[in-house]
Copies of this chain bind each other. A is one copy, B any other.
Amino acid sequence: MEFSSKLLEKAVHEMAQLPGIGKRTALRLVLHLLRQPAQQTSFLAEALVGMRENIRFCKSCHNISDTEVCEICANGSRDQGVVCVVEDVRDVMAIENTRQFRGIYHVLGGKISPIDGIGPSQLTIAPLVDKVKSGSVRELIFALSSTMEGDTTNFFIYKQIKESGITVSTIARGIAVGDELEYADEVTLGRSILQRIPFENALKNN
Contacts and interface: CB of A to CB of B under 8 A. Distances in A.
B93 A1 contact: yes
Interface string A29-45: 11111100010111111
A11 interface: yes
A18 B29 contact: yes
A2 B48 contact: no
Interface stretch (A52-60, A167-175, A177-185): A52-60
Number of copies: 2
A11 B48 contact: yes
A57 B99 CA distance: 53
Given A31-B88, A32-B18, A52-B34, A6 B47 contact: no
Nearest to A67: B5
Contacts of A92: 4
Nearest to A6: B66
26 contacts: A2-B93, A2-B96, A3-B93, A4-B63, A4-B65, A4-B92, A5-B64, A5-B66, A7-B51, A8-B51, A10-B51, A11-B48, A14-B47, A15-B44, A17-B40, A19-B32, A20-B25, A21-B29, A27-B90, A30-B48, A30-B51, A31-B88, A34-B64, A38-B52, A38-B53, A42-B52
